[in-house]
């Protein structure tokens, strides 16, 4: 019986991983781009697709971070906050993937790598306690907001569909960061913040092409 209890969270974690990297994410909310149109040139489509591929990869990594942190969360409320954020991020996954298909493109070929690495980082963050783990959420979301702001600037002006998706994602990320602060997140050391930025830079630059 105890063995079953130990296996349950691992089975749930494996199921969440397969959904994140296997293209099985399903949105629980309507696509923000549903009623919009976008007429793009070939070059504009390629630019939009590369940016949306990066955003999709970022959402795969975010899922993994939250799943890893939730696995080691000590408080029920912290675990619930992390899994709620991950659930909302699965909407982002589905929206980005749908947009990539519309643009005639694909997700990053390295998504399993992004997931595995981010899950390990999340598990380590969770091991330092709930306050530190929530601090990691707070800083992650702050940096993601910055990436989204940059991508909104770089999107082709005519791409209203991708823009609506990124705007909705940005609103969610801000809310997740605020929730983490309210739940007791600590501010991470500057060195940790810098390492997070460097790690994200490697992923975003690679996912743009691969």
All domains of the chain in start order, with CATH: 2-20+42-207 (1.20.1260.10)
Tell me if 112 sits within 8 A of 64, measured CB to CB: no
Tell me if 154 sits within 8 A of 51, measured CB to CB: yes
Task: Report, as an integer, the average pLDDT of 1-19.
Answer: 55
Distance CA 61, CA 115 (A): 5
Buried b (16+ CB within 10 A) or exposed e, 41-80: eeebbebbbbbbbbbbbbbbbbbbbbbbbbbbbeeeebbe
In the chain, DSSP assigns E strands to none
Q: Does the predicted model carry a pTM greater than 0.85?
A: yes
pLDDT digits (tens, 9 = 90+) for 50-97: 999 999 999 999 889 999 999 889 999 999 999 998 888 889 999 999
Tell me if 35 sits within 8 A of 146, measured CB to CB: no
**3-class SS of residue 98:** helix
Q: Kindly tell me the burial class for residue 194, based on how many C-beta atoms sit within 10 Å of its own C-beta (0-12, 13-18, 19 or more).
A: exposed
Tell me if 32 sits within 8 A of 168, measured CB to CB: yes
104 pLDDT exceeds 90?
yes
The tokens describing 68, both together, are 């890893």
**pLDDT given for residue 16 in this prediction:** 62
**pLDDT given for residue 41 in this prediction:** 97
175 pLDDT exceeds 80?
yes
pLDDT band at 6 (very low <50, low <70, confident <90, very high): very low
- Contacts of residue 16, defined as CB under 8 A and 6 or more positions apart, other chains included, come to 63, 67, 86
Task: Report, as an integer, the average pLDDT of 157-186.
Answer: 95
């Amino acid at each position: 019986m105890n063995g079953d209890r130990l296996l349950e969270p691992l089975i749930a974690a494996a199921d969440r991983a397969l959904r994140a990297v296997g293209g099985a994410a399903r949105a629980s909310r309507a696509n923000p781009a549903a009623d919009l149109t976008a007429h793009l040139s070939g070059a504009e489509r390629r630019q939009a697709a590369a940016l949306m591929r990066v955003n999709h990869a970022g959402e795969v990594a975010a899922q993994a971070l939250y799943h890893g942190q939730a696995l080691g969360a000590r408080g029920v409320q912290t675990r619930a906050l992390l899994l709620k954020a991950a659930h909302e991020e699965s909407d982002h996954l589905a929206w980005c993937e749908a947009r990539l298909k519309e643009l005639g493109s694909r997700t990053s070929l390295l998504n399993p790598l992004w997931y595995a690495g981010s899950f390990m980082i999340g598990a380590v963050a969770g091991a330092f306690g709930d306050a530190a783990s929530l601090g990691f959420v707070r800083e992650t979301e702050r940096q993601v907001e910055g990436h989204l702001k940059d991508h909104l600037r770089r999107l082709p002006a005519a791409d209203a569909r991708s823009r609506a998706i990124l705007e909705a994602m940005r609103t969610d990320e801000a809310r997740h960061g605020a929730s983490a602060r309210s739940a007791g997140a600590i501010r991470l050391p500057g060195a940790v913040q810098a390492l997070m930025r460097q790690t994200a830079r490697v992923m975003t630059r690679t996912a743009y092409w691969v």
